[in-house]
A and B are shown apart, each in its own frame.
Chain A
Amino acid sequence: MADEALFLLLHNEMVSGVYKSAEQGEVENGRCITKLENMGFRVGQGLIERFTKDTARFKDELDIMKFICKDFWTTVFKKQIDNLRTNHQGIYVLQDNKFRLLTQMSAGKQYLEHASKYLAFTCGLIRGGLSNLGIKSIVTAEVSSMPACKLTSYFLTNVFSSYLSGLVVFVSCFCYLEDI
């Protein structure tokens, strides 16, 4: 379908545009990834406003994440998230086995080192969507073999608890990821 290709191609150009116009040192210090993530953030804010206009009120955080995995992902990427896991304490792992923005890139380990550039926008998208629904979060992505990717969102409950939870999150996500 031609319309799927529209966003994919535009996104590819966005990434290469940001990297081409990068100033001295911006590629190494991660400024480019941040720029892409911030773009995704603003888009996510606007998108979530449009998508939740006609939906019923969300009951809780899990309801919101299910919405992101089903309706949101389907509207943006024409498919649902394949797997959602949570520790019920603010960490949600979204698994997409055939991430639309990576399928044209490779079917294994080729170009793996560039994958993070193509995931930054989507991380921002989720973070922006959650932010407008009243949830502050950090969203990171992991790719071990294309085109599968794992996006993890850490819900930040409040400034004080996040100092403690920062350590807990670090430790628990190590234990958590071992189960997978």
Chain B
Amino acid sequence: MNYPLYIRSVPTENELKFHYMVHTSLDVVDEKISAMGKALVDQRELYLGLLYPTEDYKVYGYVTNSKVKFVMVVDSSNTALRDNEIRSMFRKLHNSYTDVMCNPFYNPGDRIQSRAFDGMVTSMMIQVC
């Protein structure tokens, strides 16, 4: 059952294209998880790394132990963004998601409407763009 708990893109035009990219990358995420045993990637890590590069974009993945998938689509022209920066962005997302889980007004499985979460994502996106 794969539906987005939260999806956000900057700039907002062509939003549908990003939605579609994120959706198709879910298959790659599942592939990576099931190939964990044989793959060279450290199977104990939550960060999945680069899922697949396209002409204009790079897609990164991260899956928590609670089977929640985080997908990040970054412009290929943004060469300044290094692997450890992507990792720390995923950590921030994971930490904020954990806080959302502990919010009594959040029902697990619903779309995330927390303004605190929104704010964290906005500040991350501003830093990168």
Given A45-B101, A46-B101, A57-B43, decide whether A52 and B108 contact each other with a Cβ distance below 8 A: no
Q: Chain A residues near B46: list those with CB within 8 A.
A: 56-57
**In contact, B67 and A134 (Cβ under 8 angstroms):** yes
Q: Chain A residues near B95: list those with CB within 8 A.
A: 53
A61 to chain B, nearest CB (A): 13
Tell me the bound Cα distance from A49 to B102 in angstroms: 9
**In contact, B67 and A49 (Cβ under 8 angstroms):** no
B97 to chain A, nearest CB (A): 7
B90-103: CB near A (< 8 Å → 1, else 0) gives 00001101100110
Q: Chain B residues near A50: list those with CB within 8 A.
A: 98, 101-102
**In contact, B108 and A45 (Cβ under 8 angstroms):** yes
B44 interfacial by beta-carbon distance below 8 Å: yes
* Residue of A whose beta carbon sits closest to that of B97: A49
Tell me the bound Cα distance from A55 to B43 in angstroms: 12
A133 interfacial by beta-carbon distance below 8 Å: yes
B45 interfacial by beta-carbon distance below 8 Å: yes
Tell me the bound Cα distance from A97 to B65 in angstroms: 29
| Contact among B43, B66, B102 for A52, CB-based, below 8 A | B66
Tell me the bound Cα distance from A45 to B97 in angstroms: 12
B76 interfacial by beta-carbon distance below 8 Å: no
**In contact, A58 and B65 (Cβ under 8 angstroms):** yes
B64 interfacial by beta-carbon distance below 8 Å: yes
Number of interface residues of A (CB under 8 A): 16
**In contact, B101 and A57 (Cβ under 8 angstroms):** no
* Residue of B whose beta carbon sits closest to that of A128: B108
Tell me the bound Cα distance from A92 to B45 in angstroms: 27
A92 to chain B, nearest CB (A): 18
Restricting to B70-100, which residues have a CB under 8 Å from any CB of A? 94-95, 97-98
**In contact, A133 and B65 (Cβ under 8 angstroms):** yes
* Residue of A whose beta carbon sits closest to that of B108: A45
B129 to chain A, nearest CB (A): 27
Restricting to B93-123, which residues have a CB under 8 Å from any CB of A? 94-95, 97-98, 101-102, 108
Give 7 new A-B contacts, CB below 8 A, not counting A53-B94, A57-B45: A42-B108, A49-B64, A49-B97, A53-B64, A56-B45, A57-B44, A57-B63
What 5 pairs across the A-B complex have the smallest Cβ distances? Answer: A56-B44, A52-B65, A49-B101, A132-B66, A46-B102
Q: Can you list 11 contacts pairing A with B, beta carbon distance less than 8 Å?
A: A45-B101, A49-B102, A50-B98, A50-B101, A50-B102, A53-B98, A57-B63, A58-B65, A132-B66, A133-B65, A134-B67
